[in-house]
Amino acid sequence: MNTTGGLGAAALLLVALSGVASQAQSTYRVSTRSQWLTWTFPRDLLEIRNDGSVTPVAFDQPANVALNAPLFTHPLREGGEGQGGVWKVGSGRSTARNLIDGDPTTLWRPSQADPVDEWWVEINLGRIMPVTAIRLIFPDQEGARPLREFRVFGADGKREPPNKDIYRFHLIGGTTRWNEETLVEYEGSNLSRVAAFQLTEGTGSGEEFRTDFDPIQFIRILVDAKSEDAALAEVEVFAFGQNVVLGTVARGGEVIDERGRAGEMGDGDINTPWGVHNFQSVGIGGTDFVWDLGALFWINRIILISDRTSTERSGAGINDHRMIGSDGSLTPSGAFDFELLFDFQGTDWVHPDFLTYLFSPPRPMRLLSAVWATTATAVISEFMVYPTGYVAQVEMTSDFIRIDNRARILQALHWEADTPPGTRVQAQTRSGTELLERLIYYRSNGAEVTKDAFDKLPDVAKGEVVTLIEPGPDWSGWSPVYRFSGQEFLSPSPRRFVRIRIILSSDRPGAAPTVHSLFLDHTRAFITGITGVVEPKEAVLGVPQRFTYCITPTFSTGDLGFDRIRI
């Protein structure tokens, strides 16, 4: 028995549309920065330039993580939030922020009128980072000379005691004689207080295979002796790169675990660990997590930091587990297709404090999961993921685009782009004629309630009423992928509204596409719409069957109409 679908109406419509070529063609175009900024996309993964071009960002390794410290905040036990940046200063407050502005010509100048015990400054990275090098850059010119005697300290941000915003600092380095250098750098043994366990794919040497680091959030610089014209130009703090676990939810990713707390090990705060206990003994499931990073990255490093940090605290380290990952591909059943990346079986290192996984070459990954042994006990303070090169795949989606007040024939989707070898620009569309408004009601405490419940609340208990715009019942799902510019429009037409999704991807870390503009050709429709039905819907093989094809056009005021049908 064969069944017939609804293709007859679509075929009829496409043939009919070919007869309106004489109508004036119009174009909807997106080509400016302000237009692109109305789209939805991961703000940390796409660069929208002033000329209107769009390209994925590149992740440098190593990276100076002091430059973007002001973008990060963390809760304070005393209330409120602490913001990254230069956050505590003894002397020279008005110039202290120059220390991390990326400009070696701007200076921090402690005041000669202040006592030496006020010649200090603290930098807050805003999140804990695996620091590999700290560089102090000094001026040496008339009126501005290097600090002569000083010490540099670091802290991982762990509160001691837990109810106070007090941190234990350790010495990183300092001067042993009168300093005349314009560059003082601390790295290597100065910044590797603990051993890091590593597992690698492939072999090699060099910076990309380095595993020693110092977990640091706060850096304190103490000047031990006043000197004439003393100044400091820049403090550079280098880590393996940018930890893309931070900002997961903001870019559209999510964290899944049965107890709902795994996200705490991806907040950049060492004070919020995620615990994996011996679930076999207590009879509770959920010994794993799934982390969707929200985009596809070229990952070459994963770091786990246990709650038992380098200041010799007691507690569980990192026990046996398997690290699995997926690039977002699906199995035939529709589930994510995970593969085994690493199988950690602690023998000599039963409970390491730090665990580093290296990928050589980098692997394209979007989802990561750690599956723990049923007898495992571990408390993980931070889960860190470091990509290299350009983002492997990232999407941006338009809002509802009104093409016209009347339904229009949507003809073809074009884009102008630079696509180096191995890179691609693809697109998808949805279309519809109707948009609906839905009101969402909130109490003053932020809890969502029904309209009836909202109306019964006293005025002081009423919160916001938010209007949500949603697609109407005639909207299509996302179309198949447009694989080249100028391809015929793949969603239903004629329609009044469209949404467009652009997918930028690359097969290698060193290259990325750039989109300069996007435009959609459309023309006047001679009818608002048409549907078709073929009956009966089933036929027996080998038996003659008469079919009826019924079409129903939809007209609006001003439609030109038609006088012939071609099937």
pLDDT in tens, 342-372: 888 765 555 677 888 988 889 999 999 988 7
Whether the pLDDT of residue 317 is over 80: the answer is no
Q: Phi then psi for 94, rounded to 5 degrees? A: -70, -20
Residue 382: name the closest of 254, 299, 237, 267 by CA.
Answer: 267
For 216, counting Cβ atoms within 10 Å of its Cβ (0-12 exposed, 13-18 middle, 19+ buried), the class is buried
Q: Which two tokens stand for residue 524?
A: 């006047």
SS3 374: coil
**Distance (Å, whole) CA 478 – CA 492:** 11
Residue 542 vs residue 11, higher pLDDT: 542
Whether the pLDDT of residue 275 is over 50: the answer is yes
Lowest-pLDDT range, 46-50, 224-228, 278-282, 492-496? 278-282
Residue 511: name the closest of 427, 387, 422 by CA.
Answer: 422
pLDDT of 205 reads 54
Whether the pLDDT of residue 18 is over 70: the answer is no
CB 355 within 8 A of CB 304: yes
Task: For residue 26, give the amino acid letter.
Answer: S
CA 35 to chain centroid: 21
Whether the pLDDT of residue 172 is over 80: the answer is yes
Lowest-pLDDT range, 219-223, 308-312, 450-454, 456-460? 308-312
CA 530 to chain centroid: 42
pLDDT of 481 reads 97
Buried b (16+ CB within 10 A) or exposed e, 416-440: ebebeeebbbbbbbbbbbeeeeeee
Task: For residue 513, give the amino acid letter.
Answer: P
Tell me the average pLDDT across 446-471. Answer: 91
pLDDT of 21 reads 44
349 Rama sector, left if φ>0, alpha if ψ -120 to 50, beta otherwise: beta
pLDDT in tens, 377-411: 567 889 999 999 999 999 999 999 999 988 888 99
Whether the pLDDT of residue 287 is over 90: the answer is no
Lowest-pLDDT range, 33-42, 514-523, 555-564? 555-564
Residues for the chain: how many in total? Answer: 567
375 confidence band (pLDDT: 50, 70, 90): low
**Angle ∠(26,32,37) on CA atoms, nearest 5:** 115
The H-or-E segment that residue 17 falls in is helix 7-17
197 confidence band (pLDDT: 50, 70, 90): low
Residue 221: name the closest of 131, 127, 94, 91 by CA.
Answer: 91
pLDDT in tens, 225-263: 999 999 999 999 999 999 999 999 999 999 988 777 788
Whether the pLDDT of residue 198 is over 60: the answer is no
CA 381 to chain centroid: 20
Mean pLDDT of the chain: 86
pLDDT in tens, 533-544: 888 888 888 888
Per-residue DSSP letters for 239-255? ESS--TTTTTTTTT-EE
pLDDT in tens, 53-82: 999 999 999 999 999 999 999 999 888 999
Q: Phi then psi for 9, rounded to 5 degrees? A: -65, -40
Best mean pLDDT range from 16-30, 180-194, 241-255, 279-293: 241-255
Per-residue DSSP letters for 428-491? EEEEES-EEEEEEEEETTS-EE-HHHHHHS-GGGEEEEEEEEEE-TT---PPPPB-STTEEP-S
**Distance (Å, whole) CA 95 – CA 100:** 11
pLDDT above 90 as % of the chain: 63
CB 177 within 8 A of CB 195: no
**Distance (Å, whole) CA 389 – CA 300:** 10
Which residue spans within 244-313 are E strands per DSSP?
254-256, 274-276, 288-306
pLDDT of 286 reads 42
pLDDT above 70 as % of the chain: 85
pLDDT in tens, 110-149: 999 999 999 999 999 999 999 999 999 999 999 999 999 9
pLDDT of 204 reads 52
Whether the pLDDT of residue 413 is over 70: the answer is yes
The bridge status of strand 230-231 relative to strand 145-146 is: parallel
Whether the pLDDT of residue 516 is over 90: the answer is yes
Which residue spans within 196-287 are E strands per DSSP?
197-200, 214-225, 230-231, 234-239, 254-256, 274-276
423 confidence band (pLDDT: 50, 70, 90): very high
Whether the pLDDT of residue 189 is over 90: the answer is no
Q: Phi then psi for 6, rounded to 5 degrees? A: -100, 25
CB 16 within 8 A of CB 529: no
Task: Please confirm whether the linkage preceding 361 is cis (ω < 30° from 0).
Answer: yes
Task: Please confirm whether the linkage preceding 494 is cis (ω < 30° from 0).
Answer: yes
pLDDT of 285 reads 40
pLDDT of 211 reads 79
